[in-house]
Structure 1
Amino acid sequence: MKRIIKITILYITIVLGQISIYSCHNATKTTSTQTEMDTSASAVDLSNMLMLADTNFAGKQISIWTADSLTNKFESLYLRLLDGKGKPLTDEALDYHITMDMGMMSHGGPYDPLVNKGNGIYQADMVFIMANMKDMGKGWLLKTLLQGKDKTDTLTVALPVQQATVARTLPTGTTTDGRVFVSCLLPNELESGKHQIEFALHKMDKETFTNLDGYTIAIEPFMPEMKHGSSENNDAQSKGNGRYSGQVNFTMPGEWIVKVKLMKNGDIVSQDHLVYPIKIKS
């Protein structure tokens, strides 16, 4: 079981080295919250997750959790909001966005609206298109906004995003939409057999990122050591909101790769060879 890391605002920078918290009060109002309610999913269990931050926020208690250490790929964070007595807050005007602070410059990154998972827990899906760089700015910042009657409170947390050991988010040029980022949501290891394979596709437009639909993501699993692929694979089709789903079949244990091409109207439109390694266990 993963160890729960409790971090207070007094020693966050000492424990993690890369996490810091800033808060401020803004008298202006923001747009309405983008939070969506997910009533179909089961409750989120935070007991085996890592706590990245835990502090007071506008008279409430907010904590931020992740399933594992953060790397430059598609990640899900979980924000838990409690009142002063520890009671879950489930109907708050909560929103967020992410920024990469590189010191002399900054840019955004792909992220989806918050999803209200119930019991005071909100899910935030995002893609870190690069890792933090040593001695270059604050790195990735998560800014949480809580809208009240006459002001919006903000809390900014610096996130410790490390370099991934296995590539899961790759950039490519396209003949249709310019530069895009293709995130494969497979874990680093899987059991042999058939599995659902999902992707998130985002278009980069200057400093903003948008979900990209309308493609087919062609997949080809291949085992380099044995020099063979597999049958019964289905290319990933668009499900909307930049998400794609297909099926991949890993027929035996060992080191595999998944070769990926972006297709539109039957033509290859990606300009680079996208390869995602994966270890298949028996």
Structure 2
Amino acid sequence: MSICSVSHRPVIAPRLEPVSSPVQRVASTPVSRPGNDLRQKLMTDSFEQGPSRLGGVSGAFTKSFAGPGFGAPSAGSTEPVNPSEPWLAKNNVGSPYNSNMLFIEPSQKSQFKYTNTFTNNTNQPQTITLWNKTGENGNPNDGQNFDKSTPKTFTLQPGESQLVAFDNNSSVAWCASKDGTAKPGANSGQTWGEATFANAATGWSGYDTSQISPAGHNGKMSITNEATGHTVTETNAWQTPSDDPAGRDVGVPAGPLNLVTTLG
């Protein structure tokens, strides 16, 4: 979960199973560095860590073709990271920045391995802000700082949908504007959605919703895995850093992932 303040949930390493099995908590003891413990804990999502966190599969995941038209992998995104320091991972943001995300037509969907269909079920326009968690400056978890990194925005009229495709090893987040404007700062008070597609180290993907910070998070949002129907909403979003990950973090083993995010 990435947010713009330090009131963030810590790294939790649940047992990630296919969504037909409940998610379980296991102990995790990440390496600490003096004066930076909290920052380290905030920079990874447990749902993307896969079985390697439990002593299973380890090593770099062999990437597969995610679809046409993406930019080259960004600098550092293919470099292995010590498993005990996942907060140092730089996810793929494409080269140039944001070229790991493509707006596509429904007729193109079959060409891509990882997608999210955003749908506006409210009675007013909704502007989505969609950003890479790795910042434009190359720093992990810095993409949420819109004065330093440029997000993608798009507006959905009532009943309208937009399909977005993602490249391998993309880790992203999004939220909807309270007032329908495209100004990123207007969006930070809403429920956040998060997803990772084919983590470079494990191949796993995952998704969740969060209302942890900033204070006042609200708004109805559901995220559904099209293949399984497994859904998370604002009612089982992350609310506090100590929440149990069961029902919140949804881990998905290596393979295609098509999500549907519905507002309202």
Q: TM-score, normalised by structure 1?
A: 0.26
Q: Which has the higher strand share?
A: 1
The higher-RCO structure (CA 8 Å, 6+ apart) is: 2
Q: TM-score, normalised by structure 2?
A: 0.27
Q: Which has the higher helix share?
A: 2
